[in-house]
């Protein structure tokens, strides 16, 4: 899919106004709990379908799962795909995390690795996957985010030479990627990089780098029954896209506050030029 656009009513001066809502979720670990292998993901899907959309009237258009989707066993692939068929969105995407590989070798990926770009309202959204699995005693080669050299070169070029605002979506935090530590961190300021969203740590975290890049961790659905997720609201009018993040407790069907810049906030909002 080259671009994902939704055209709505005319804006000021006859310009069209576009809106989208994205559900960002991470770490469902389907199969970790053998007694209820799909439960964590199902709680999130049911909240999106039955409460966010049906009761609150928010139309969720797309979704991204930030890795650790299926927990180290191919017997749960079909169960995961059937659950996602029930999610009422136009399309969904994913990246692989360190547990999305077949145990015990953790070399064979359970789903195809996704490294791609999406054109979203004139922004460039980049999805990057882990390419080697690790469990609880990772080797030096598999520790943190892993990608082949050719993928790393592609990724760095996509960020640094972009003429569109860039958002990155991965499982691992920025600091766990060689591409970040060797290239992107010191060159981010002045680039088009605006945001990096990740999972993995199973906790909310939000900060800004150089007052430019929002670095954001989704709290996750997960085996610990956090049942959390984030919705990204986008509204474009002319050459401006307004971005708003809202934070969701899927189990209790409520919006929650998270810590950001020394206070608890109910949303994070900013604008980018496209």
Mean pLDDT over 122-132 rounds to: 97
- Cβ within 8 Å of residue 183, ≥6 positions away: 156, 160
Q: What is the pLDDT of residue 212?
A: 94
Write out the two tokens for 193: 């990089």
27-52 pLDDT per residue, tens: 999 999 999 999 999 999 999 999 99
3-class secondary structure for the chain?
CCEECCEEEECHHHCEEEEEEEEEECCCCECCCCCCCCHHHHHHHHHHHHHHHCCCCCCCCEEEEECCCECCCHHHHHHHHHHHHCCCCCEEEEECCCCCECCCCCCCECCCCCCEEEEECCEEEEECCCCCCCCCCCCCCCCCCCCCHHHHHHHHHHHHCCCCCEEEECCCCHHHCHHHHHHHHHHCCCCCEEEEEECCCCCCEEEEECCCEEEEECCCCCCCCCCEEEEEEEEEECCEEEEEEEEEECCCCEEECEEECCEEECEEEEEEEC
Please give the model's pTM, rounded to 2 decimal places. Answer: 0.93
Mean pLDDT over 255-272 rounds to: 97
Degrees, nearest 5: CA angle 16-20-21 = 160
Read off the pLDDT band of 223 (50, 70, 90). confident
- Cβ within 8 Å of residue 126, ≥6 positions away: 116, 117, 155, 158, 159, 166, 167, 168, 169
pLDDT at 229 over 80: yes
For the chain, the structural domain boundaries read 15-273
- Cβ within 8 Å of residue 43, ≥6 positions away: 221, 227, 250, 251
Contact 246, 266 (CB under 8 A): yes
> Which class is 15-273 in CATH?
alpha beta
Q: What is the pLDDT of residue 9?
A: 36
98-112 pLDDT per residue, tens: 999 999 989 999 999
């Amino acid at each position: 899919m080259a671009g994902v656009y939704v055209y709505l009513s005319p804006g000021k001066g006859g310009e069209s106004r576009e809106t989208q809502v994205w559900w960002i979720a991470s770490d469902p670990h389907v199969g970790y709990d053998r007694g209820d292998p799909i439960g964590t993901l199902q709680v999130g899907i049911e909240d999106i379908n039955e409460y966010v959309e049906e009761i609150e009237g928010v139309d969720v258009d797309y979704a991204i799962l930030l890795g650790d989707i299926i927990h180290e066993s191919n017997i749960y692939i079909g169960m995961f795909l059937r659950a996602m068929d029930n999610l009422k969105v136009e399309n969904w995407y994913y990246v692989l995390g360190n547990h999305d590989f077949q145990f015990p070798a953790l070399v064979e990926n359970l789903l195809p690795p996704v490294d791609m770009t999406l054109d979203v309202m004139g922004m460039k959204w980049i999805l990057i996957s882990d390419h080697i699995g690790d469990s609880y005693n990772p080797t030096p080669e598999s520790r943190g985010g892993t990608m082949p050299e050719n993928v790393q070169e592609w990724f760095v070029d996509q960020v640094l030479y972009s003429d569109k605002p860039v958002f990155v979506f991965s499982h691992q935090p920025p600091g766990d990627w060689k591409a970040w530590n060797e290239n992107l961190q010191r060159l981010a300021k002045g680039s088009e990089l605006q945001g990096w969203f990740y999972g993995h740590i199973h906790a909310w975290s939000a900060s800004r780098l150089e007052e430019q890049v929002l670095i954001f961790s989704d709290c996750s659905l997960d085996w610990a029954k956090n049942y959390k997720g984030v919705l990204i609201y986008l509204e474009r009018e002319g050459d401006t896209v307004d971005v708003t993040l809202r934070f969701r407790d899927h189990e209790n069907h409520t919006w929650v506050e998270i810590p950001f810049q020394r206070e608890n906030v109910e949303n994070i909002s900013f604008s980018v030029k496209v």
